[in-house]
Structure 1
């Protein structure tokens, strides 16, 4: 990337948009026909996602009043024509694709464009227009051709952005790192009403509206998050691969089972929770750059899917909420729960497990990366021999399901399996074993866990968790907010654990707390710095 391009993009993202290049006459996209809107409708930014060799998804959602109570953004009750264009340069002078879509009230005036006909392995820039209003400019990339192995991929992953707990500075710093691909592993938004979930540092800003239980409230919450300029910058810098975790619907939900049957009228029966889930899925679809196969069908929405970066890497994006068996022992940590070993229990469901194992068998990629939500490796809080004390909400509560996945990549001869995880609001790095109960069991893969963007506030800065001495496969821990930046090549994957000292006030710098390397064909993590 040349210096001039990097400088211009970084400057624009720092302001939350790249509307034009100073001093350059920029041709505007064709003006979309239709009655004029009275204000700027591009208040929620732009995004791209789910790239492939000749295209990607482009997204925007029109909202004149993002915090309107009905969740519809103050938009008129009619379709609005939106034109889009894609260029080979950020000044939007070398336009190679353009078209017109209709933003409709049935989908909260969101726009999803699935592009084809572009060149593989290239940078592109895009924007939207309706009437006289221009959107910010975003950057997107196509993936390399299926049979190509690129020299490197810069990929970042993040999770857990509780709006009330802190500012989204980590998203801004992630954008400034200019990755080629961003994975978001869940808890993009939180369902709670104002002050229902207070961090130890105290909440620094408030949720608008009630707890999210119906379509208007989920739409409103997504709108509020999307108005954040740092989140908009992260969306505009590169295509995203997104999956949800629990808070996009309801804390610790499992399939058709809410966290607590008695917590609210929307959770009191299976039918009412399914209605809540359908509303959450519809709002998620409307606000994410997803392909049409991921569009919801009532209270079902398939978000597990596979994206290949040429022959360098496969990204197996997973869903560990929608198909799981209910958590044991009330969702929390518990000791000696024998049922967690039950072979019939699954965190993925049968169909997704088969899809994943088939993907392992067919893979010819150098790296197979699982983008998923909850802690994969064992974390045992009990020091005593013969006693275990583990989280029922992570893969520890589904031990047989985990064993089938790890054995599946071993049996398939997967060259370099790596699990990426969010959820726990801390950075972790771990070796993965076929049997965590056996100290002599071989290491068969690696897990990298990102901290939160803002959830739980600033953090202590601690780099030691009490359980690590008797869980020797756990290699790294850090209690600060941030994200993980990776560089993937044929020879190695390098992971930089990026942290901020504070999120309770905006503007903190970012730095690398530690770096780990996974070498091609070598099982296990190596500490680099």
Structure 2
């Protein structure tokens, strides 16, 4: 690693990192005049830019000895060309990692290049850190110093250290304020999972609470611009700066309800669109180089271990799936969905999941994924209606995974889900078409951050009665906060009364505990 020639001199309090937001962090990060002079000297090769750190900082994919640090330089973040106001040149970016928020105990530092080919994004893959430790990090470029982020490594492989983790999905910029992200940060989690629909492809529409810039995203410039707008949001920046994230995409990062190489509607340019979307996704997420896209392909499914307490199996339920059955949407009488050859995961990814189940030694095994896993019949009484975009459209694939939860080394199987803009909780059945089938795991579904607007609150008693394995429903925006210990998993369904107004408080609508060895949802 290249050593930084001059130490940074900013001073940022823990309170600023957790509660002050990106503006407070940026305001208190002050570089030395010697450093500023060095970086703005003619030898730097570039004219002095405006603040390049408008998109904040992030970290992700932690391991026992390291984590990914991310930023992207963009002094004009929503420029139409997607370049963020950056010149067509490589810009050196320095970084530091410290044990304390005042950066008096710097443990690593170095320099990397932000290249125009990847929208001047930076992905620093740290190694050599201590397991289960908290660190602070920051960047500097062109005489400017970034906000400070806090991150942590995962515990040692044999450690049963407790984990507080929040997860979220579905954040439409135009449909509300990202207050849920700030409330997640205030919960002080060790880890945050984002289960997809980080951004939406749609252009602005009548009734939007906030203005969406740019047209519907189709080109690389479009996607870069859209991500940049999202990342200027102070609440989202705060959540990224508070804890490492583990991310997977769903459909709206590309296009609604796409399936492998098949768009929702006929589109001769879809593969070019997918290629551009994947490129922008990598550029804007704290992902390792193993996720760098190659054409229309991106390796996203992966595992992360939180000591010996939790195995996270992060799935990709878009890139390898068969096209939705029976024309997509909610369908009745669709026998195609029961075809044993139909797959949501693809054969290779399914084998990867089942192999992981066989080899696990964790207390809890968690599938982090996108679409509703448990059976969900939306027609009360006679008749049935299922979503073809969810696992209900791929019944055999789902049942093989559910059966493997019961028949493998998995001790406690848990599925975390996004996509549906509602809170749900369910007990997973070995075979969902058999009402007497035993429960083999639990599913926690988070509502959206903003998508769908404020929501109507309340439950859905008819649907709950029709699906007795489903134990909870709520139509509000928010996220789910979890705590994993040796003896139990607790899930708190956090809700906001409004997202069409700024800074709404969060409250817990419902909590469940799952005891070690017993796949039952116990309300608390």
Distance in 2 between the 1:143 and 1:27 partners?
36
CA gap of 1:8–1:224, structure 2 versus 1, over 3 A, is closer
CA displacement, residues 88-108 of structure 1 (integer Å, 9 cap, x when unaligned): 001111110000011010000
Specify the alignment match of 2:328 in structure 1: 331
Q: Is the 8 A contact 1:26 1:91 kept in 2?
A: no
1:10 matches 2:21: no
Which piece of structure 1 moves more, 66-75 or 462-471? 462-471
Q: 1:167 aligns with which of 169, 177, 182?
A: 177
Q: Is the 8 A contact 1:26 1:92 kept in 2?
A: no
Q: 1:462 aligns with which of 448, 458, 474?
A: 458
Deviation of 1:206 (Å): 1.8
Specify the alignment match of 1:408 in structure 2: 404
Q: Is the 8 A contact 1:16 1:232 kept in 2?
A: no
1:380 matches 2:380: no
Deviation of 1:436 (Å): 2.0
Specify the alignment match of 1:264 in structure 2: none
TM-score by length of 1: 0.93
Q: Is the 8 A contact 2:427 2:442 kept in 1?
A: yes
Specify the alignment match of 1:182 in structure 2: 192
Map 1:133-282; keep pairs closer than 5 Å: 133-150=144-161, 152-195=162-205, 202-261=207-266, 267=267, 269=268, 272-282=269-279
Deviation of 1:404 (Å): 0.8
Deviation of 1:381 (Å): 1.9
Q: 1:340 aligns with which of 317, 337, 341?
A: 337
Map 1:506-521; keep pairs closer than 5 Å: 506-521=502-517
Distance in 1 between the 2:365 and 2:36 partners?
39
Specify the alignment match of 1:419 in structure 2: 415
Deviation of 1:438 (Å): 1.7
1:394 matches 2:390: yes
Specify the alignment match of 1:449 in structure 2: 445
Map 1:45-60; keep pairs closer than 5 Å: 45-60=56-71
CA gap of 1:438–1:31, structure 2 versus 1, over 3 A, is farther
Deviation of 1:523 (Å): 1.3
Distance in 1 between the 2:49 and 2:340 partners?
59
Map 1:302-321; keep pairs closer than 5 Å: 302-321=299-318
Specify the alignment match of 1:115 in structure 2: 126
Deviation of 1:329 (Å): 2.1
Q: Is the 8 A contact 1:8 1:21 kept in 2?
A: no
| Matched position secondary structure for 2:177 | coil
CA gap of 1:401–1:39, structure 2 versus 1, over 3 A, is same
Specify the alignment match of 2:482 in structure 1: 486
Distance in 2 between the 1:14 and 1:37 partners?
22
Deviation of 1:273 (Å): 1.1
Distance in 1 between the 2:24 and 2:501 partners?
18
Distance in 1 between the 2:64 and 2:265 partners?
44
CA displacement, residues 453-511 of structure 1 (integer Å, 9 cap, x when unaligned): 00010011112353111210110011000000011101111001011000001010111
Which piece of structure 1 moves more, 459-468 or 225-234? 459-468
RMSD: 2.0
Distance in 2 between the 1:40 and 1:173 partners?
27
| Matched position secondary structure for 2:281 | helix
Q: Is the 8 A contact 2:197 2:251 kept in 1?
A: yes
Q: Is the 8 A contact 1:27 1:93 kept in 2?
A: no
Distance in 1 between the 2:38 and 2:371 partners?
45
Distance in 2 between the 1:168 and 1:376 partners?
26
Distance in 2 between the 1:384 and 1:39 partners?
62
TM-score by length of 2: 0.94
Specify the alignment match of 2:113 in structure 1: 102
Specify the alignment match of 1:92 in structure 2: 103
Query: Would you say how many aligned residue pairs link Structure 1 and Structure 2?
Result: 509
User: Which segments of 5 or more consecutive residues in structure 2 lack a partner in the other structure?
Assistant: 1-11
| Matched position secondary structure for 1:164 | helix
Q: Is the 8 A contact 1:125 1:139 kept in 2?
A: yes
Deviation of 1:21 (Å): 8.1
| Matched position secondary structure for 1:157 | strand
User: Which segments of 5 or more consecutive residues in structure 1 lack a partner in the other structure?
Assistant: 262-266
Q: Is the 8 A contact 1:120 1:144 kept in 2?
A: yes
CA displacement, residues 288-320 of structure 1 (integer Å, 9 cap, x when unaligned): 000011110000001100000010000000000
Distance in 2 between the 1:428 and 1:48 partners?
29
Q: Is the 8 A contact 2:56 2:147 kept in 1?
A: yes
Q: Is the 8 A contact 1:20 1:91 kept in 2?
A: no
Specify the alignment match of 2:9 in structure 1: none
Distance in 2 between the 1:30 and 1:115 partners?
28
| Matched position secondary structure for 1:381 | coil
